[in-house]
Amino acid sequence: MIKTKISEQFPHHADTRQFQTSVYIADRTIENKGIQEIITSSDQIPEAFLLGNSPSLDILVNVHNKNSFTEGEDSLSQCECAAYPNAATETSWFLLLELKYCHDENKTRSSNLPKAKKQLLATHGYYKAKGIISKKNTSYLIAGFPKITVPFRNQILTPKVVSELKRDENIVIRIANSCQIVDKNKIEF
């Protein structure tokens, strides 16, 4: 269902990868001198986000690039990728991931987290506006900081913000470097 709607609404999203295992996701933009490269692999990658998949669900990962969401010729704010069950139903989970790499926890708090939140919410809005996901889908918006050990402090995702997003939009927003797929409808941290 989600896969079909994405191909209808965003046919240019050609970089879709399929897994039945746990997936490591890393952004190698800096290492590649500004060229964005999102690596997804069932093999462990250092400094990557882990999407655990112990039920071995067939999952899809759509990798976003600067042309994934545009307005005219301008690239819009977006996150790294979206993931969802291949056999998604109208109540299946939908995951959006933004990765930030920073060695300084203070810089992470002060600049990267607000930007990650903005990118995640913007990308969620693009998919929701096109009818790809709805409030029936629990959307997991995750900001990952693979070079920083979690838990770490944050001032942006207050309990009030977290509960309002869940109540109003069925969004679960977290800062995490891993999560675990439970089934087609749930992810745990």
Helix (H) or strand (E) holding 74: strand 74-75
Predicted pLDDT at 142: 96
What are 26-70's pLDDT values in tens digits? 987 766 655 667 888 888 888 899 999 999 999 999 999 888 999
Any idea which residue has 């990267």 for tokens? 112
Burial 9-27 (b: 16+ CB within 10 A, else e): ebeebeeebebeebbbbbb
**Do strands 23-27 and 59-63 pair parallel, antiparallel, or not at all (unpaired)?**
unpaired
**Cα three-residue angle 9-124-116, rounded to 5 degrees:** 135
Contact 145, 112 (CB under 8 A): yes
What are 70-81's pLDDT values in tens digits? 999 999 999 999
End-to-end CA distance of the chain: 25
Residue 6's pLDDT band (cuts 50, 70, 90)? very high
As a whole number of angstroms, the distance between CA 105 and CA 149 comes to 9
Average pLDDT over residues 4-29: 91
Please report, for residues 108, 151, 161, the alpha-carbon distance to residue 23 in angstroms, rounded to integers and kept in the order given: 24, 21, 29
Residue 14's pLDDT band (cuts 50, 70, 90)? confident
Q: Which amino acid does the sequence have at 112? A: N
CB atoms under 10 Å from CB of 50, counted, come to 18
Q: Is 125 helix (H, G, I), strand (E, B) or coil?
A: helix
Predicted pLDDT at 155: 62
As a whole number of angstroms, the distance between CA 180 and CA 21 comes to 11
Q: The pTM is what?
A: 0.91
What are 115-165's pLDDT values in tens digits? 999 999 999 999 999 999 999 999 999 999 887 776 655 667 889 999 999
Q: Is 85 helix (H, G, I), strand (E, B) or coil?
A: strand
Predicted pLDDT at 34: 57
